Amino acid sequence: MTSTTARVALVTGGSGGIGSSVVERLVQDGFAVAVHYSGNASRAEELAAKVRGTGGQAITVGGDVADEAAMAAGFDTIEEEWGGLDVVVNTAGIMLLSPIATLDLADLDRMHRTNIRGTFVVSQLAANRLRAGGALINFSTTVTRTRFPTYGGYVASKAAVESMTLVLARELRGRDITVNAVAPGPTATPLFLDGKDQQTVDELAKAAPLERLGTPDDVAEAVAFLAGPARWVNGQVVYVNGGLA
């Protein structure tokens, strides 16, 4: 086990668009960070190497977030490396868009496995492993409020995430662990931009009063707030959307 005085964070989906920004932002705040990946080990290791190259502490852990054994092994690796875990940020998720009437139920099952079961598995482990003073930050979406067409299956999974997050915050009474969800609005990531034409992207960019898309760094700032100084913010869904809804 490596001796460290840093707080320790796990970022699921840490090699993704928002996840990688969260990793880099938490490192700025002095966290030692485990970069989780499911399918792209090389991208996760590249990010971890970048962190180490600038003097930070980072390792990678792999596994399907919906696989409780794989994720438990990841938590074990982090505890063996750094002695404990203080913050879990659950950015891992998939988004498959279709009108409800024509959504392929296999796609629905895929989203629910990753977004609901995966969040539940990681939240359950966090509830049992986080140290006092810790934080769990799950990810929802502003579309639970804006109700854009074609997002029905995705929103169903994220509404479940919000509900389980708010329940868990109350179940951890007395543990000094905060549990919140971040709900980004339209954010310029590959996940969001995939399959959208330029006109659609431009319209979404103008929808918020700030008249632009969010960036992964915008979302990471909110995560850093919840992971660090925001000890009185608990059991909340924080909408990071430029005033869209």
Give the number of other CB atoms < 10 A from CB of residue 245.
Answer: 15
Distance CA 53, CA 46 (A): 10
User: 91 or 194, which is more confident?
Assistant: 91
Tell me the average pLDDT of the chain: 95
In the chain, % of residues over pLDDT 90 = 86
pLDDT tens, 161-173?
999 999 999 999 9
What's the confidence (pLDDT) of residue 58?
A: 98
Q: What band does 203 get if pLDDT is binned at 50, 70 and 90?
A: confident
149, pLDDT greater than 90: yes
| CATH, range 8-240 | 3.40.50.720
Q: Flag whether pLDDT at 86 surpasses 80.
A: yes
pLDDT at 118: 98
Taking the alpha carbons at both ends of the chain, their separation in whole angstroms is: 46
Q: How many CB atoms lie within 10 A of CB 194?
A: 9
Other beta carbons within 10 angstroms of residue 175's beta carbon come to 14
Identify whether 239 is a catalytic site residue: no
Q: Residue 54 pLDDT more than 70?
A: yes
State yes or no: pLDDT of 4 exceeds 60. no
The 8-class DSSP code of residue 38 comes to S
Q: pTM for the whole thing? A: 0.94
Report the sign of the C-alpha dihedral through residues 85, 86, 90, 92, in that order: negative
